[in-house]
């Protein structure tokens, strides 16, 4: 199946990105607009602004400058962490702490890391539980959340289970769910007590995002690219100081001009002339990417948040919002050795370099892989017996982001859900005037989109999802059925800046 360019643009319009041309960026995110997250979010001194005459020139290009110079460093492809095999479990030790790493050539950057690493990789297998012993050596609390994981509440990273500095906690992930690209990120929530104040937006920004790649027999039976031809790509934005310091300003998320892929600034990646499976993950706090290969090479989308799609979908550009994952297969086989293909984001801001990374075709290779016309049927989640509505809006009066007119309160249960009962959630984005996108991410279970503005989802949204973005004025409905585990679970917008400003709720699943 192919999608025409016109339809693609129409699809982008649905996501509020109709104006997403290389030089303009989506309207909602233009620095001069009253952007998401309160007045005055735009920062002075936009990158790329021509220097005023008479201003002294800088001497040498700083690491921060070279960070925006694309394709000077190789992509880091993480090797999976080696578990101990213990009584049918994979046992990992994860220490969270500060680490000094070289992200920009010639500079040292202090990050918050798992085991000293930026973007590490854990590989897991369906039916084989993972046990993690986590030691928190940070000076802020940490709550480990497996995004997309179907797991008991006590391992879900609820803020009430935060590991305080020095604490040791155990996490047990059953891995009784479909193969999918999941990720492991901080979910602590500020309590406002002095130095103990922490929030997940900052910790994720500073590096606490690991890839958790779950495989299973069903997927292995398909002839998809695998092994070294199956590559996780955590894509995010960042802002660096001249000395390589990672700068964090919660209100400054429109000025994060450096793109990192697995921690490498706009890297190049040497590939063989064959098919690759690229697991695209947006681990940014707030940035939207509209990814495409600059030379027009189509990408075949094969999976979304919850794993394989029912059928592959062709795309020239892939919209990827914070928290989302999209797996694509890209075929370099008709590229001569020596050629280069740039992955760029069509949603970059004015003055930004749109380049994300470059694929350098350096050798021939045999390619037994293929993409079957049918992948994996989506499970039947049943007929909804209950409707819930979630209205998302920013309140300019208070500077808070609200779900149904409320900000998050850990001591309030917003509603109860019965395990096994199918619900229909309607998510409405009321921020037409402010032009702010929002998303919805419930913990515990994946969902299926029923319709977007009354129209059934296209092939790229036909599989299981766990995070869905709703453009200003849009309405998305999805069916969800929570199963297996009772307790308190969060649901929230995945623009981390919005979460920090209240856009989260708490449900209790009951029998
Ligand atoms: Cu990735 Cu509650 O989040
Ligand atoms: Cu999650
Ligand atoms: Cu939001």
Residue-wise pLDDT for 87-143, tens only, equals 899 999 999 999 999 999 989 999 999 999 999 999 999 999 999 999 999 999 999
Proximal ligand: closest to the CA of 401: 3
62 — pLDDT class (breaks 50, 70, 90) = low
Distances (CA, A) of 83 to 123, 133, 157: 9, 11, 21
10: Cβ contacts below 8 Å, ≥ 6 apart:
none
Matching residue, tokens 């100081």:
241
Question: 18 is written with which tokens?
Answer: 């109709």
43: burial class by Cβ within 10 Å (0-12, 13-18, 19+)?
middle
Say whether pLDDT at 68 is over 80: no
> Encoding tokens for residue 226?
């695998």
pLDDT of residue 356: 98
Let me know how many helices (H) and strands (E) the chain has, helices first: 5, 31
Domain borders along the chain are 5-40+222-364, 63-217, 386-510
- The torsion angles phi and psi of 224, rounded to 5 degrees, stand at -70, 160
Lowest mean pLDDT among 64-78, 259-273, 433-447: 64-78
Looking up tokens 């470059």 gives 358
Q: What is the arithmetic mean of pLDDT over 439-455?
A: 98
Confidence band, pLDDT 50/70/90 cuts, at residue 350: confident
Using the predicted structure, report yes or no on whether residue 278 has a pLDDT greater than 50: yes
Q: What is the DSSP letter of 455?
A: B
Instruction: Compute, in angstroms, the gap from residue 147 CA to the centroid of ligand 1.
Output: 5
Cα 190 to Cα 287: distance, rounded to the nearest angstrom: 22
pLDDT reading at 35 higher than 80 = no
Structure confidence at residue 250 as a pLDDT band (50, 70, 90)? confident
Does position 322 have pLDDT exceeding 70, yes or no? yes
Q: Which atom of ligand 1 has the smallest separation from the CA of 183?
A: 1
Average pLDDT on 72-96 reads: 95
Q: State the average pLDDT over residues 201-210.
A: 96
CATH 3.30.70.1880, applies to 5-40+222-364: no
Measured in Å, residue 344 CA sits from the centre of ligand 3 at: 25
Residue 138 Cα, ligand 3 centroid: separation in angstroms?
28
Give the ligand at the shortest distance from the Cα of 204.
Answer: 1
Share of the chain above pLDDT 70, in %: 85
204 CA distance to ligand 1 middle (Å) = 11
Integer Cα distance of 102 and 123 in angstroms: 24
> Does residue 158 line the site of ligand 1, with CB under 6 A?
no
> Residue 50 above 50 pLDDT?
no
Say how far apart CA 66 and CA 52 lie, in whole Å: 21
Judge whether residue 305 has pLDDT over 90. yes
Residue 275 CB less than 6 A away from ligand 1: no
CA 203/CA 96 separation, integer angstroms: 10
Residue 496 has pLDDT above 60, yes or no: yes
For residue 468, pLDDT over 70 is answered with yes
Q: How far apart are the first and last CA of the chain?
A: 43
User: Residue by residue, what is the 3-state secondary structure of 333-362?
Assistant: CCCCCCCEEEEEECCCCCCCCCEEEEEEEE
How are strands ordered across the β-sheet holding 325-331?
A: 264-265, 258-261, 230-238, 275-282, 325-331, 299-304, 307-315
What is the Cα–Cα distance from 189 to 286, expressed in whole angstroms? 17
Residue located nearest, by CA, to atom 1 of ligand 1: 147
Cβ of 187 less than 6 Å from ligand 1: yes
The answer to whether the CB of 361 falls within 8 A of the CB of 335 is yes
Say whether domain 63-217 belongs to CATH 3.80.10.10. no
Mean of the pLDDT values across residues 7-11? 31
| Contact yes or no for 494/478 (Cβ under 8 A) | no
Compute the average pLDDT of residues 25-54: 35
Answer yes or no: is the C-beta of 185 below 6 A from any ligand 1 atom. Answer: yes
- The confidence band for 61, taking pLDDT boundaries of 50, 70 and 90, is low
Ligand 1, closest atom to CA 148?
1
The DSSP element (H or E) to which 27 belongs, if any, is: none
- Residue 332 alpha carbon to ligand 3 centre in Å: 37
Q: Is the dihedral of CA 230, 110, 291, 17 positive or negative?
A: positive
Atom of ligand 1 nearest to the CA of 491: 2
The confidence score (pLDDT) of residue 39 equals 29
Q: Is the CB of 145 under 6 A from ligand 1?
A: yes
Percentage of the chain modeled with pLDDT above 90: 81
Determine if ligand 1 sits within 6 Å of the CB of residue 393.
no
In this prediction, residue 290 carries a pLDDT of 98
DSSP assignment of 58-104 equals PSS--HHHHHTSTT-SBPP-PPBPPPEEETTEEEEEEEEEEEEE--S
Neighbours of 293 (CB within 10 A): 19
Instruction: Say whether pLDDT at 302 is over 90.
Output: yes
Average pLDDT rounded to a whole number, residues 327-338: 96
The two domains 63-217 and 386-510 share their CATH topology (first three levels equal) = yes
| Whole-angstrom distance, CA of residue 436 vs CA of residue 392 | 10
Distance CA 467, CA 287 (A): 15
* 5 has a pLDDT exceeding 50: no
Q: Which two tokens stand for residue 452?
A: 């977007």
**Does position 508 have pLDDT exceeding 90, yes or no?**
yes
Q: Is the CB of 323 under 6 A from ligand 1?
A: yes
User: Residue 335 and residue 340: Cα distance in Å, rounded?
Assistant: 8
Please give the C-alpha separations between residue 146 and each of 8, 71, 119, 212, 474, in angstroms, as whole numbers. 32, 31, 14, 8, 28
Bridge partners (DSSP) listed for residue 358:
268, 342
Shortest-distance ligand to the CA of residue 440: 3
Examine the pLDDT at 43 and tell me if it is beyond 90: no
pLDDT for residue 48 is more than 50 = no
Domain spanning 386-510: which superfamily?
Cupredoxins -  blue copper proteins (2.60.40.420)
Q: Tell me which ligand sits closest to the C-alpha of residue 210.
A: 1
**Residue 59 CA to ligand 1 centre (angstroms):** 43
Q: Is the pLDDT of residue 1 over 50?
A: no
Measured from the CB, is residue 490 less than 6 Å from ligand 1? yes
Q: Is the CB of 325 under 6 A from ligand 1?
A: no
Question: Whose alpha carbon is nearest atom 3 of ligand 1?
Answer: 147
Establish whether residue 112 lines the binding site of ligand 1, counting it when its CB lies within 6 angstroms of any ligand atom: no
Q: Judge contact between 4 and 425, C-beta under 8 A.
A: no
CA of 467 to the centre of ligand 2 (A): 8
Rounded to whole angstroms, the Cα distance separating 229 from 278 reads 8
Q: What are phi and psi of 79, to 5 degrees?
A: -85, 140
504 CA: nearest ligand 1 atom = 2
pTM for this model (two decimals): 0.88
Q: Return d(Cα 224, Cα 302) in angstroms, integer.
A: 9
Q: Is 492 in the pocket of ligand 1 (CB under 6 A)?
A: yes
Cα 248 to Cα 203, 243, 390, distances in angstroms = 10, 14, 30
Q: How many CB atoms lie within 10 A of CB 8?
A: 17
Q: Going by C-beta distance under 8 Å and a sequence separation of 6 or more, which residues neighbour residue 6?
A: none
Contact between residue 385 and residue 424 where contact means Cβ atoms under 8 Å apart? no
């Amino acid at each position: 199946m192919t999608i025409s360019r016109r339809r693609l643009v129409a699809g982008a319009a649905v996501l509020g990105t109709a104006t997403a041309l290389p030089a303009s960026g989506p309207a909602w995110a233009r620095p001069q607009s009253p952007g998401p997250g309160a007045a005055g979010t735009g920062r002075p001194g936009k990158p790329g602004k021509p220097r005023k005459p008479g201003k002294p020139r800088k001497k040498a290009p700083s690491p921060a400058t070279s960070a925006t110079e694309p394709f000077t460093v190789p992509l880091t492809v993480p090797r999976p962490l080696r578990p101990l095999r213990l009584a049918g479990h994979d046992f990992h030790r994860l220490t969270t702490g500060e680490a000094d790493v070289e992200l920009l050539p010639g500079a040292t950057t202090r990050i918050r890391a798992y085991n000293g690493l930026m973007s590490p990789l854990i590989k897991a297998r369906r039916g084989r539980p993972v046990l993690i012993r986590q030691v928190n050596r940070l000076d802020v609390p940490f709550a480990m959340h497996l995004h997309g994981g179907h797991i008991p509440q006590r391992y879900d990273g609820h803020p009430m289970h935060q590991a305080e500095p020095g604490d040791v906690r155990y996490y047990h992930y059953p891995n009784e769910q479909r193969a999918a690209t999941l990720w492991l990120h901080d979910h602590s929530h500020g309590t406002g007590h002095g130095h103990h104040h922490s929030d997940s937006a900052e910790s994720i920004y500073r590096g606490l995002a690991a890839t958790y790649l779950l495989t299973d027999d069903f997927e292995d039976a398909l002839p998809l690219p695998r092994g070294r031809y199956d590559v996780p790509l955590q894509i995010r934005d960042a802002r660096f100081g001249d000395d390589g310091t990672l700068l964090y300003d919660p209100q400054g998320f429109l000025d994060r001009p450096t793109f990192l892929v697995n921690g490498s600034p706009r890297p190049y990646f040497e590939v063989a002339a064959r098919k690759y499976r690229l697991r695209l993950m947006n681990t940014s706090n707030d940035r939207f990417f509209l990814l495409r290969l600059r030379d027009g090479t189509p990408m075949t989308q094969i999976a979304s948040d919850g794993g394989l799609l029912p059928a592959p979908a062709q795309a020239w550009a892939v919209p990827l919002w914070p928290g989302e994952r999209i797996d694509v297969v890209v075929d370099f086989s008709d590229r001569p050795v020596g050629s280069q293909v740039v992955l760029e984001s069509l949603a970059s801001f004015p003055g930004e370099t749109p380049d994300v990374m470059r694929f350098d075709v350096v050798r021939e290779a045999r390619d037994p892989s293929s993409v079957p016309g049918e992948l994996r049927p989506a499970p039947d989640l049943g007929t909804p017996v209950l409707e819930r509505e979630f209205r998302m809006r920013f309140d300019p009066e208070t500077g808070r982001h609200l779900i149904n007119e409320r900000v998050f309160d850990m001591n309030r249960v917003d509603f109860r859900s019965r395990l096994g009962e199918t619900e229909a959630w309607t998510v409405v984005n009321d921020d037409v005037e402010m032009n702010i996108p929002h998303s919805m991410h419930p913990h515990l279970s994946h969902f299926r989109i029923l319709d977007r503005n009354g129209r059934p989802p296209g092939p790229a949204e036909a599989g299981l999802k766990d995070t869905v973005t709703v453009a200003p004025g849009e309405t998305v409905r999805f069916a969800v059925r929570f199963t297996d585990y009772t307790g308190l679970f969060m649901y929230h917008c995945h623009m981390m800046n919005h979460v920090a400003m209240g856009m989260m709720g708490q449900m209790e699943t009951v029998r």
